[in-house]
Amino acid sequence: MSQNILVLLEATADGQLAKSADGLLGAASKLGSPIALFVGQEENTESLASAAAALGAVKVLVSDGVADSYVAPIVDALAASFDKLQPEAVLAAHSDLSKEAIARFAARVGCAVSIDAVDLSRDEEGIVAHHSAYGGAYTVTSTATFGTLAVTVRQGAVEHRAAGAPLDIEKLEVASSNTKSAKITSVEIADAPTESRPELRGATRVVSGGRGLGSAEKFTLVEELADTLGAAVGASRAAVDAGFVPQSLQVGQTGVQVAPQLYIALGISGAIQHKAGMQTSKTIIAINKDETAPIFDIADFGVVGDVFVVVPQLIAALKD
Ligand SMILES: Cc1cc2nc3c(=O)[nH]c(=O)nc-3n(C[C@H](O)[C@H](O)[C@H](O)COP(=O)(O)OP(=O)(O)OC[C@H]3O[C@@H](n4cnc5c(N)ncnc54)[C@H](O)[C@@H]3O)c2cc1C
């Protein structure tokens, strides 16, 4: 089998390279030769391919796809790339779109799937995916007993970055399987991040608030600290359920899963369902007035105190 690592890349609705690309290509470069695949981005193929090469793709395969079809053309293109390259692994983002594409692709070609990897490595028998399970309580590994391993990778979890490569684009010939496919009739970007505040998924810094903030008005303290740090805003489910912020900001098992360099939890107790979405953050800081709060078990730095006393001082110190 080759040491080709096929990497399915996504573009955003406004035609940019999705933020998952750097971690995917970084992970692929640890294992072999990263070969990127884009589907259905005719207008800006060149700029997307250049961005992928700058992130380490040694070759970029492009397939026209069918612009308004959901998933099926991606599966066709993955299968065609698979036949062409015989890759040792296929990596994709752990996003709704890529999860569905990878599942269908694996079923079609009959390869093993590992879901939600936080890292990848190689041992003497092949490629190994690493996972953070049960809210981060366990680290487990998975691998294929034979053949190619298809893996979805949690965004933000892989730190390794590949060196840039010269641009090498190749048009991929894809025979359509004519699989029935949902049609995309319109695209509306919900809760678009503002220029001053990054999007939660993929952010390198996140400041999250919980029920301890007390009200939507007081939740602005979380936003103020986030803006001081150039961080994204997140929240616990209790804060969402109480109406402090929209559900799109929920971090956790049933919300967004993040793995930033810095995660600050304000007035969050640290329930297992919350930890499931942030435990792989590189540095965790917790501020909570209850010294027995479970969030302190996973925090690298903890402050036992009232957020309304501690955070304004922190903001003032950061602004000094
Ligand atoms: C199936 C299922 C899925 C779930 N999915 C998620 C999920 O995705 N994400 C998620 O977050 N939760 C999820 N939950 C809910 C989860 O179990 C907890 O209920 C929730 O995370 C608690 O949120 P919290 O920490 O903000 O609230 P609490 O547990 O009420 O904690 C509030 C904390 O604030 C502290 N505090 C209060 N006032 C102050 C102050 N002035 N200064 C400092 N600290 C203060 C308190 O000491 C306390 O520790 C899920 C639950 C279930 C059953």
Ligand 1 atom closest to Cα of residue 269: 49
Q: What is the pLDDT of residue 191?
A: 59
pLDDT greater than 80 at residue 314: yes
Q: What is the pLDDT of residue 162?
A: 96
Q: Give the Cα separation of 234 and 198 in Å (integer).
A: 11
Q: Looking at the chain, list the stretches that DSSP marks H as alpha helix, in order from N- to C-terminal side.
A: 21-31, 45-54, 72-85, 96-109, 220-229, 237-241, 272-275, 295-298, 307-319
Ligand 1 centroid to residue 292 C-alpha, Å: 14
Give me the domains of the chain, ranges plus CATH numbers: 4-171 (3.40.50.620), 205-319 (3.40.50.1220)
Residues 6+ apart with CB under 8 A from 108: 75, 79, 177
- 51 to 16, 57, 157, 270: CA distances (angstroms): 9, 9, 20, 38
Q: What is the pLDDT of residue 1?
A: 60
Position 190 confidence tier, pLDDT thresholds 50, 70, 90: low
Half-sphere exposure of 44 (CA within 13 A, CB side): 13
Neighbours of 217 (CB within 10 A): 9
Position 263 confidence tier, pLDDT thresholds 50, 70, 90: very high
pLDDT greater than 90 at residue 175: no
269 CB near ligand 1 (under 6 Å): yes
121 beta partners:
128
Q: Is 80 helix (H, G, I), strand (E, B) or coil?
A: helix
Q: What is the average per-residue pLDDT within 172-180?
A: 86
Higher pLDDT residue, 281 or 194? 281
Look at residues 254, 266, 288 and name the one whose alpha carbon lies nearest to residue 219. 266
Q: What is the pLDDT of residue 67?
A: 64
Angle separating helix axes 220-229 and 307-319, nearest 10 degrees: 30
Position 92 confidence tier, pLDDT thresholds 50, 70, 90: very high
Q: What is the average per-residue pLDDT within 82-106?
A: 96
240 CB near ligand 1 (under 6 Å): no
Look at residues 156, 230, 219 and name the one whose alpha carbon lies nearest to residue 197. 230
Ligand 1 centroid to residue 239 C-alpha, Å: 7
290 CB near ligand 1 (under 6 Å): yes
Q: Give the Cα separation of 76 and 82 in Å (integer).
A: 10
252 CB near ligand 1 (under 6 Å): yes
Q: What is the average per-residue pLDDT within 32-41?
A: 91
Ligand 1 centroid to residue 187 C-alpha, Å: 33
What pLDDT digit, counting tens, does each position of 206-246 carry? 999 999 999 999 999 999 999 999 999 999 999 999 999 99
- 287 to 162, 218, 271: CA distances (angstroms): 35, 15, 15
Which contacts (CB < 8 Å, 24+ apart) does range 286-293 have?
A: 287/311, 288/212, 289/212, 293/268, 293/269
On average, the pLDDT of the chain sits at 92
pLDDT greater than 60 at residue 192: no
Nearest CA to ligand 1 atom 28: 269
Ligand 1 centroid to residue 191 C-alpha, Å: 23
Ligand 1 atom closest to Cα of residue 272: 17
Q: Give the Cα separation of 25 and 160 in Å (integer).
A: 9
Ligand 1 centroid to residue 311 C-alpha, Å: 19
288 CB near ligand 1 (under 6 Å): yes
Nearest CA to ligand 1 atom 29: 269
pLDDT greater than 60 at residue 193: no
Q: What is the pLDDT of residue 184?
A: 81
Q: Give the Cα separation of 264 and 283 in Å (integer).
A: 8
Q: What is the pLDDT of residue 8?
A: 98
Lowest mean pLDDT segment, chosen from 42-46, 152-156, 279-283: 42-46
pTM exceeding 0.85? no
DSSP result, 85-118: H--SEEEEESSHHHHHHHHHHHHHHT-EEEEEES
254 CB near ligand 1 (under 6 Å): yes
Nearest CA to ligand 1 atom 39: 212
pLDDT greater than 80 at residue 179: yes
Position 178 confidence tier, pLDDT thresholds 50, 70, 90: confident
- Among left, alpha and beta (phi > 0; psi -120 to 50; other), residue 43 is alpha
Q: What is the average per-residue pLDDT within 140-165?
A: 94
Percent of the chain with pLDDT over 70: 95
Higher pLDDT residue, 225 or 178? 225
